[in-house]
């Protein structure tokens, strides 16, 4: 009964949080996805794609980048090979004559153990970049033909030094891919609302843009290069501290980047644990309070579910609490899924609630106290 009461206290705070996100989402202006008619491209842009063992996806990513409508003379595409052991490098080399640049990530010095491999790869590309605006994405992503053009127009008119933009996971036929699509869409909805209202800082490295000068001013990834994850949010927090009014969110359909779901449950949990591992290093402490509330709520619900093994009537308490949690989230999630053109996924949303609670608790715990591997490397 005590856990049940505590869960409803947390649900009360959670209600106001989700209501705030939903209200803020509705206020985010839509940028013209075709870009204003008077827009004249003038800025040199460098797209950075870190890649390690991506032979199954890198070619589709490259082809999607080569189809961008932004003027070729103003677009630089750099693929950073992070010591791949498969055919990634060979595939990239096939497109060097088409304007793709290949950069090798810095080798790990003898006696020094790296953990921030992706940051090292991105930094190597930025140092080699000739563009004034850096756009980062991942090797398993594909893009609308006007993706870069839309970012360039938004940067020209908004003048933001750091731009976060939307990402979606296209659901496949597996339960895991559908679950990831819903979960990721919700995270994107929270990102959109929080960045627009400057409530707290969130973003995803699959679709970011920032001025090279701003990156250099905050000394890039220095002081956060001992952390395996955080090439997106931790950098965002550094730039936000230096440019409090320089952060913006680009809400445009042409700016949406599509990425792939994790292929299996093991990869999914490793990915989420890696994401959770950076939470304790956030400079923006407001997000820590949000994460604390969300984690505490899910932990109490998890304890109710686990306790039902020994006290079966606890399952009723769990079901009631989850029902109210679902009601609280329903309209917000429905809005987000419609935005990403996944309205049919709403039928799965209530069904996945127990799974979401369990994975949140597990990923949060191991992100803080456990170890994990990423891309064949043990990073903690």
Tell me: pLDDT of 113 over 60: no
Average pLDDT over the chain reads 90
How far is the CA of 141 from the CAs of 61, 62, 207, in angstroms?
6, 9, 9
pTM of the entire predicted model: 0.89
pLDDT at residue 376, as a whole number: 62
User: Exposed, middle or buried, 202 (CB in 10 Å: 0-12/13-18/19+)?
Assistant: buried
pLDDT at residue 167, as a whole number: 97
Query: Which stretches of the chain are DSSP H helices?
Result: 2-26, 58-66, 88-93, 117-128, 147-158, 175-197, 212-217, 233-242, 265-276, 285-307, 314-339, 353-369
Tell me: pLDDT of 149 over 80: yes
Tell me: pLDDT of 228 over 70: no
pLDDT at residue 371, as a whole number: 59
Question: Are 260 and 140 contacting, i.e. CB atoms less than 8 angstroms apart?
Answer: yes
In terms of phi and psi (left: phi > 0; alpha: psi -120 to 50; beta: otherwise), the region of 179 is alpha
With bands split at pLDDT 50, 70 and 90, how would you rate the model's confidence at 327? very high
Tell me: pLDDT of 372 over 80: no
């Amino acid at each position: 009964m005590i856990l049940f009461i505590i869960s409803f206290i947390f649900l009360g705070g959670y209600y106001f949080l989700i209501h705030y996100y939903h209200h803020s989402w509705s206020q985010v202006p839509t940028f013209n996805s075709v870009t204003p008619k008077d827009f004249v491209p003038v800025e040199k842009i460098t797209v950075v794609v870190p890649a390690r063992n991506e032979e199954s996806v890198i070619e589709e990513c490259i082809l999607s980048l080569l189809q961008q409508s932004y003027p070729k003379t103003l677009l630089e595409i750099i693929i950073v090979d992070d010591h791949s052991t498969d055919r990634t490098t060979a595939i990239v080399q096939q497109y060097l004559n088409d304007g793709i640049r290949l950069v090798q990530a810095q080798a790990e010095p003898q006696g020094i153990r790296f953990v921030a491999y992706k940051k090292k790869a991105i930094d190597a590309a930025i140092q080699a970049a000739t563009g004034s605006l850096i756009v980062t994405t991942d090797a398993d992503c594909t893009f609308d033909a006007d993706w870069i053009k839309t970012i360039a127009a938004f940067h020209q008119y908004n003048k933001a030094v750091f731009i976060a933009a939307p990402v979606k996971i296209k659901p496949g036929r597996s339960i895991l891919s559908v679950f990831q699509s819903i979960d990721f869409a919700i995270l994107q909805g929270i990102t959109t609302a929080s960045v627009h209202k400057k409530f707290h800082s969130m973003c995803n490295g699959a679709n970011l843009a920032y001025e090279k000068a701003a990156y250099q001013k905050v000394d890039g990834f220095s002081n956060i290069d001992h952390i395996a994850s955080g090439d997106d949010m931790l950098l965002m927090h550094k730039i936000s501290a230096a440019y409090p009014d320089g952060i913006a969110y680009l809400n445009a359909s042409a700016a949406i980047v599509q990425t792939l779901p994790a292929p299996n449950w093991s990869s999914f949990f490793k990915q989420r644990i890696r994401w959770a591992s950076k939470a304790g290093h956030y400079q923006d402490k407001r997000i820590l309070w949000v994460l604390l509330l969300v984690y505490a709520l899910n932990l109490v619900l998890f304890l109710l579910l686990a306790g039902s093994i020994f006290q079966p009537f606890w399952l009723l308490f769990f079901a009631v609490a989850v029902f109210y949690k679902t009601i609280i989230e329903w309209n917000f999630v429905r809005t987000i899924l419609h935005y990403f053109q996944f309205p049919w996924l709403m039928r799965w949303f209530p069904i996945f609630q127990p799974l979401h609670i369990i994975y949140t608790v597990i990923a949060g715990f191991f992100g803080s106290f456990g170890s994990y591997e990423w891309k064949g490397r043990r990073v903690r």
